[in-house]
Amino acid sequence: MRPDPASAGRPLGQDASTRPVGAPRQASLEELGRPLSELTFVIVDLETTGTAAATSEITEIGAVRVRGGAVLAEMSTLVRPSGPIPAMVSVLTGITDAMVVEAPREAEVIPTFLEFARGAVLVAHNAPFDLGFLRAALERCGYPPPAWEHLDTLRIARRIITRDESPDCRLGSLARLFRSTTEPSHRALADARATVDVLHGLFERLGNLGVRTLEEVHEFTSRVSPAQRRKRHLADELPTGPGVYVFRDAHGRALYVGTSRSVRSRVRTYFTASEPRTRMAEMVALAERVDAIECAHALEAEVRELRLIADHKPPYNRRSRHPERAIYLRLTDEPFPRLSRVRDLRDDATCLGPFASVRDAQDATDALLAVVPLRQCSGRLSPRVHRPACALADLGRCGAPCDGREDVATYARHVELARAAITGDPAPVVDAATRRMSRLADEGRYEEAAHERDRMVSFVRAAARGQRLAALTRITELVAAAPTAQAGWDLVVIRRGRLVSAVTVARGIDPRPWVDAAVASAETVLPRPGPAPCASVAESERIARWLAGPGVRLVRLDGEWSWPANGAARAAEHYATLAAAAAAEQHPAGSPPATGRR
C-alpha cells in the first residue's frame, strides 16, 4: 500500500486538527453511533405486589431477547414474594398465592435474569417502574447498583405518536396501533411480547425520521428545538421565590398555569431538555410572555394556581380546570329517600362524594346498593299512595315501599344504614364487596371481580373524601403554622376550608403579632351548604394535606376538627396502594391520572 502523501512526515499521534482539509479520517465509534439493527435488546416486564419498589415485591418476570428484529430467546418465571399477594392485585393480574407457592424466590431469579440480560440494552414500557423494581431487588440480593443502558417505549411513543393515531400511549393502545400479535394481559411475558412489537413499530417510525442509532434515539427523546431555546429570556425577570407563573400567548390568553418554590428556575426548564412533556413544547411555541405572582409560601402558591386554572381554564392544563363538574350522590329529603346524582349542593343533606366522573359515581352507587336495598326508581313516593313494584323487588334488591311492603319506619332503617356507611364506617360495603371479589376470583372470573373492586374503591374513596372535607369545612376559623427550612414560620388562616390569608415570618421574629395581622386582614367567608362550600374541592383537599404535614402546629381553632375513628379514611388508606396498582395498569406515568406504569 502506498503511503498517503498528506500524512508524510507527521509524527504518530499528531492531533487530527493538523490534517489538511479534505484528507480521509477514521471516525470514532462515538461519532458513528451504534446502529439499532446491530444491537441486542432485552424487553422486560414485571408484575408486582404494589407500585412502590421500596415496599412491594416482584411476582413475575417476563423478558424477550431480540436482535435485528428477530427473537433470540425468552424468559418467564413467577417469583414467590415474602408475603401474601393482595387480593386486588390477584384480581388484576390473575396471579394468586397458590400459583407462587412453589415458585423460586427473588434471590434465585435475579441471577438468572442478569445472565439473560447480559450485554443487552434493556427496554420497558414506562421503564422507570420496571427498572426501579429491578434495582430494589438487586440491592436486596446484595448485587451492586447496575449501570443499565435502557430505552423507554412510552417516552419514545410520546414523541412520535399523535392523538389522531392513538388516544394515549398505554401499552394496549400502542399494541393495537402497531397490530401486535400478542395482546397485553397484565401477565409479564405477554406484555413483554407486546412491547417487542411496539418497539419494532417505533423503530420503523424513527428510521423514517432519520434516527438509526441508539445515540440518535437518546438525543431524539430529549432534544429541544432552537425556537424553544430562543425564548429563555422570558424567565429572566421572574422572581426567585415561591409563586405562580402564567404562560400567555400574543393575545394575552392564559396557555398554562404552574407553581414552583422558585419560579424563575422552574420556568427556565421549559426551554431545556429537562422538560420531557411533549405538549409543553407546543405551549412554549405559542407563548409570548410569562407573568408571575409572588406568594408568601408554597401552599399559597398552590392554592392560587388552582384558582387561576379554574378561572382561566388554560388549554395546556389537564387538571383542576372544571371544579364545577364535581358530582355528588345525595340522599333525598322525602319519606322514602333515594340516591340522587347532583352537581350543586343546596342544603346539608347527607351526600357521598365528590366524584370526578359519572362512572365513578355509578360504581359507588352500585357498591352501596349491593348492601343497602334503597329504592332505585325516580320520582317522589307517598306512604298513602301505592303503585306496582318493579322487578328489583322480586330480586330482593328493594323493599318495595312503592306498593306498601315497607312503611316509612321500616324503610328508614335502610336509610340509616346507608347514612352510616357514607358518614361513618364503610365496613358493610367493604366486607360485602370483598366476599364477592374472593368468590369470583376463586371461580376464575377475574374481570367481574375487577368490577367489584372498582365499585368498592370508588365508594371508599368518595366516603373518605367527603368525611375529610366535612371535617375541615365546618371549622369557622383555623390558624396553623409550619416551620420553614430557615427556622421561620409559614402561617395560614383557613375559614370553612378556604385559604384566606398567608404570611411567612422570618427567623428570630415573634410570630404572634403576625398571626393577629393575618387574621385581621383575612377574607370574610360566609357559611354555605355542602362538604366543600366555600372553596373548590381541590383547594380544601390541598389545605388538608398541608395541615397533616410534618411539623405543622395548630395556633387557633374556632370549632372542632375531627372525623370518625372507624371512618372511611382508614379503609381508604388500607386500599390506597392496591388501588394505585390498578390505576397504574390503566394509565402510564405522566398521563391522567399522573401515577403508575402503563
Q: What CATH number is given to the structural domain containing 302?
A: 3.40.1440.10
Instruction: Judge if 152 and 296 occupy the same domain.
Output: no
Cβ distance 73 to 100 under 8 Å? no
Q: At what angle do helices 408-423 and 358-369 cross, to 10 degrees?
A: 130
> Is residue 28 one of the residues assigned to a domain?
no
Kindly state the helix (H) or strand (E) to which residue 175 belongs, with its residue range.
helix 171-177
By CB neighbour count within 10 A (0-12 exposed, 13-18 middle, 19+ buried), where does 263 fall?
buried
More confident call, 284 vs 61: 61
β partners of residue 491: 481, 503
> Is residue 240 one of the residues assigned to a domain?
yes
More confident call, 349 vs 4: 349
pLDDT at 24: 47
Angle at 236 between CA 234 and CA 242, to 5 degrees: 100
> Is residue 590 one of the residues assigned to a domain?
no
Closest CA to 260 of 216, 298, 316, 310: 298
Q: Give the model confidence (pLDDT) of 533-552 as tens digits.
A: 788 889 999 999 999 888 99
For residue 224, pLDDT beyond 80: no
pLDDT at 19: 39
Last-in-domain residue among 449, 467, 485? 467
Cβ distance 88 to 571 under 8 Å? no
Closest CA to 270 of 299, 242, 229: 229
> Is residue 578 one of the residues assigned to a domain?
no
**How many domains in the chain?**
4
For residue 201, pLDDT beyond 90: yes
Q: Identity (one letter) of the amino acid at 544?
A: A
pLDDT at 577: 56
Q: At what angle do helices 358-369 and 446-473 cross, to 10 degrees?
A: 100
Q: Give the model confidence (pLDDT) of 418-446 as tens digits.
A: 999 998 888 899 888 888 888 888 888 88
Closest CA to 456 of 95, 87, 96: 87
> Is residue 280 one of the residues assigned to a domain?
yes
pLDDT at 230: 82
Which DSSP symbol is given to 340?
E
User: Who's near 51: CB < 8 A, 6+ residues apart?
Assistant: 129, 577, 580, 581, 584, 595, 596, 597
Instruction: Judge if 339 and 303 occupy the same domain.
Output: no
pLDDT at 567: 80
Residues 130 and 366: their CA atoms lie apart, in Å, by 35
Instruction: Judge if 388 and 487 occupy the same domain.
Output: no
Cβ distance 564 to 570 under 8 Å? no
pLDDT at 4: 41
Q: What is the mean pLDDT of residues 289-297?
A: 94
Q: What is the mean pLDDT of residues 189-207?
A: 94
pLDDT at 398: 80
pLDDT at 593: 38
pLDDT at 130: 92
pLDDT at 61: 96
Pairing, β 243-248 against β 254-260: antiparallel
Phi, psi of 425 (to 5 degrees): -85, 120
CATH code where residue 90 lies: 3.30.420.10
Q: 443: which 3 cell numbers?
A: 371461580
Helices (H) and strands (E) in the chain, counts: 21, 15
The residues annotated as belonging to the active site are: 186
For residue 32, pLDDT beyond 80: no
Which DSSP symbol is given to 534?
S
Mean pLDDT (the chain, rounded): 84
Instruction: Judge if 188 and 268 occupy the same domain.
Output: no
Last-in-domain residue among 321, 354, 386? 321
Instruction: Judge if 343 and 488 occupy the same domain.
Output: no
pLDDT at 579: 52
pLDDT at 269: 84
Residues 400 and 294: their CA atoms lie apart, in Å, by 60
Q: What sign does the CA torsion over 359, 589, 260, 226 have?
A: negative
Instruction: Judge if 77 and 215 occupy the same domain.
Output: yes
pLDDT at 67: 95
For residue 400, pLDDT beyond 70: yes
Q: 95: which 3 cell numbers?
A: 396471579
pLDDT at 581: 53
pLDDT at 66: 96
Instruction: Judge if 271 and 379 occupy the same domain.
Output: no
Instruction: Judge if 305 and 368 occupy the same domain.
Output: no
Kindly state the helix (H) or strand (E) to which residue 532 belongs, with its residue range.
none
Range of the domain at 494: 475-558
> Is residue 575 one of the residues assigned to a domain?
no
For residue 342, pLDDT beyond 50: yes
How many Cα atoms occupy the beta-carbon half-sphere of 193 within 13 Å?
16
Position 28 confidence tier, pLDDT thresholds 50, 70, 90: very low
> Is residue 46 one of the residues assigned to a domain?
yes
pLDDT at 569: 77
Q: Give the model confidence (pLDDT) of 234-267 as tens digits.
A: 998 999 899 999 999 999 999 999 999 999 989 9
Instruction: Judge if 117 and 207 occupy the same domain.
Output: yes
Cβ distance 84 to 61 under 8 Å? no
Cβ distance 220 to 159 under 8 Å? yes
Last-in-domain residue among 299, 321, 343? 321
Instruction: Judge if 354 and 397 occupy the same domain.
Output: yes
Q: How far is CA 499 from the centre of its chain?
A: 25
For residue 222, pLDDT beyond 80: no
More confident call, 539 vs 529: 539
For residue 104, pLDDT beyond 90: yes
Which DSSP symbol is given to 52?
-
Instruction: Judge if 168 and 291 occupy the same domain.
Output: no
Position 7 confidence tier, pLDDT thresholds 50, 70, 90: very low
Instruction: Judge if 496 and 384 occupy the same domain.
Output: no
For residue 216, pLDDT beyond 80: yes
Q: Give the model confidence (pLDDT) of 303-337 as tens digits.
A: 999 999 999 999 998 877 777 788 899 998 888 88
User: CA dihedral defined by 344, 350, 354, 357, rounded to 10 degrees?
Assistant: -80
Residues 170 and 154: their CA atoms lie apart, in Å, by 8
Q: Give the model confidence (pLDDT) of 148-178 as tens digits.
A: 899 999 989 988 888 788 888 899 999 999 9
Cβ distance 381 to 560 under 8 Å? no
pLDDT at 89: 83
Q: What is the mean pLDDT of residues 23-42?
A: 70
> Is residue 300 one of the residues assigned to a domain?
yes
